[in-house]
A and B are shown apart, each in its own frame.
Chain A
Amino acid sequence: MPDMTKSGTVTAAPDAVGAAAPAPQPLKAEKARGLWGDAWQDLRRNKIFIVSSVLILLLLTITFFPSWFTSANPAYGDLAKHYLQKPQLGKVFSAEWLGYDQQGRSVYARLIYGARASIAVGFGTTILVTIAGGLVGMIAGYFGGVVDSILSRLVDVFFGIPFLLGTMVVLNSFPKRTTWVVIGALGFFGWTQLARVMRGAVITTKQADYVQAAKALGASTTRILFRHILPNTLAPVIVVATISLGVYIGAEATLSFLGLGLNGVSWGNDISDGGAQIRVAQWIMLYPSIMLTITVLAFIMLGEAVRNALDPKTR
């Protein structure tokens, strides 16, 4: 190929013509479409992804701006309107829409304000476990040897403790259970799963030739970890984190139901309270349960959709 020698111009070498680019568009249009870009193209057309993300966006809006959805005070109980006041399904978005509980508080308002507890615990715990578990997993996976042996056994020990039992024992010793306390307790027992996922992903990635190539260039450990390994291990971590977000929301409700959750407005507390009244006033328990189920489902569906989009096998 004598014509392949330096031309110095921007014209493509002969063999580069008609390259493997997806479409013969101008170069600017295709900029920055990496694996994430492809995954995004995939997700945009995925109905499950659209439904779950719309739901999650709605939940986030409710969390941050509850007053947009109801003017009623969730803590204000008017005994005149106690639980015998049935839901008036015609009066959409009003305080009496979903009825009142046994203390005469609006079920709808409590539903709106209860979202904050679930979302805060869900996101808070997930961020905590992703950082803590991710870090442990990354260190164990990258450095291997004795470090890995010790950290892996530590993970095994924590993994052996029943998750809910552990959090219950810890929470039981706190008289005042703020959001931070609940997040801390859930995170303390929950980080192992992400540590395992991260460790596995790092071990696979560190053997990749591009990591070897970076080492051969003399790249520092920090550079290898953050430029090469981390971006390539994020996919499985994001998937697991999204799914576990739903799980933590469910766990928070479970703890509240058992009387060991947050003090204050929360779906779990309401489900617990409503449980006692289920024979006479099903709606008190019904609506928070539905909200909880939808929320958990939305995050799990989102996780599944992201997993499918990022799975290299479907590429």
Chain B
Amino acid sequence: MTIIEEAFVPSPREDNGGPLLEVRDLHVEFRTREGVVRAVNGVNYSVKAGETLAVLGESGSGKSVTAQAIMGILDMPPATIPQGEILFRGQDMLKMSGEERRKIRGQRIAMIFQDALSSLNPVLSVGYQLGEMFRVHQGMSKKDAKAKAIELMDRVKIPAAAARVNDYPHQFSGGMRQRIMIAMALALEPDLIIADEPTTALDVTVQAQVMDLLAELQREYNMGLILITHDLGVVADVADKIAVMYAGRIVERAPVHELYKRPAHPYTRGLLDSIPRLDQKGQELYAIKGLPPNLLRIPSGCAFNPRCPKAEDVCRTEVPDLLGVTEQDGSELVGRASACHFRKETIHG
């Protein structure tokens, strides 16, 4: 324990090229009245400084639960983490004490939520809430903290920041509130930001502003960014690499360009095919048949098999591992992996 205590606070901007955060074989379960809900079933992913990892999935895919586990904000119980490691700069956060985790959370890892209004305290002014970060974590005086708050609001391009610092959350529009959330996440200059559907609640034109801002700040601070979303468009716009989740597992991992060009998992392919395209006007859209799985009763074998057009017997009995994908000539495709028994046929067919 003492070793961890000394090692867990790294020098802030050290970048040794290794992953900032690494999730290894993470499992999360919820005990409910109806039984055990296996929300996350062995997730592996990592993100480096300055890199954007998009975690793509539908509701119930486990993408948000994984993020909450990383942040340490899962309600336990009902949630339990029976297995897995979450390494932040090589240290397993799951083995740390509450105090140690609390220090990492907020200072080194920050999170942005979908619903900015409910994430902000309605009875405290925005400036106070932003300043609180500095008062609590850095022991600043009230006046300094307020000045810092204004500076942050400027940085996230809130017009007339000095005049609005004493306004309350409800006085801001949705887009502005999300900027305030970003400002709050940035306050202590974290190494990693986890953004859980940060623009889903926003209008398209505002969405673009907020995503641009986030990408710009990420570059500026050389942060890692985990972007959790269901929107294939947003992912294509900002991600470096993508992890596609289905029923609590990562089914495919790939650099962004590769994934859209040649998906290696039938689920990814189905998602991409079901986007309406111009030449499909007047025709039926491709639709993945069936429904997302009930996490109480995840199908045996590959969880996607009841909905998969290519499923064979092996898919119903054997869980496919997330393995690398090779080019037709046998050379390894860098950064690519797929959890499909027929990954080769899928990517090349």
Residues of A within 8 A of B (CB): 1-2, 14-15, 17-20, 22, 41-42
Contact = CB atoms under 8 A, between A and B. Distances in A.
Main secondary structure of the interface of A (DSSP, over half): loop
A17 B34 CA distance: 20
Contacts of B284: 1-2
B287 interface: yes
A19 B291 contact: yes
B277 interface: no
B306 interface: yes
B33 interface: yes
Q: Which of B33, B287, B306 has most A Cβ within 10 Å?
A: B33
B330 interface: no
B294 interface: yes
Contacts of B290: 14-15, 17-18
B45 to A, nearest CB: 29
A42 B289 contact: no
Contacts of B294: 18, 20
7 contacts: A1-B289, A15-B291, A17-B306, A18-B291, A18-B306, A20-B291, A42-B33
A15 B289 contact: yes
A20 to B, nearest CB: 6
A89 to B, nearest CB: 43
Nearest to B34: A22
A185 B79 CA distance: 51
A133 B322 CA distance: 62
Interface string B267-310: 00000000000000000100101110010010000000010000
Contacts of B297: 18
B135 to A, nearest CB: 33
A59 to B, nearest CB: 30
A162 B156 CA distance: 54
A18 B291 CA distance: 8
Nearest to A15: B290
Contact of B287 (A1, A17, A20, A42): A1
- A-B complex: 7 closest residue pairs judged by Cβ atoms: A15-B290, A14-B289, A15-B289, A1-B287, A15-B291, A22-B34, A20-B294
Contacts of A2: 284
Nearest to A314: B33
Contacts of A22: 34
Given A18-B291, A18-B297, A42-B33, 7 more contacts: A1-B287, A14-B289, A15-B291, A17-B290, A18-B290, A18-B306, A19-B291
Nearest to B307: A15
Nearest to B293: A18
A15 B290 CA distance: 4
A2 B285 CA distance: 11
Nearest to B299: A18
A32 to B, nearest CB: 18
A14 B287 CA distance: 12
Contacts of A19: 291
B103 to A, nearest CB: 32
A280 B143 CA distance: 69
A42 B92 CA distance: 39
A133 B290 CA distance: 48
Contacts of B289: 1, 14-15
A268 to B, nearest CB: 42
Nearest to A22: B34
Contacts of B33: 41-42
Nearest to B292: A20
Contacts of B34: 22
A118 B262 CA distance: 76
Contacts of A1: 284, 287, 289
A19 B290 CA distance: 9
Nearest to A2: B284
Contacts of A42: 33
B31 to A, nearest CB: 14
A22 B294 CA distance: 9
A1 B283 CA distance: 11
A1 B291 CA distance: 13
Contacts of A14: 289-290
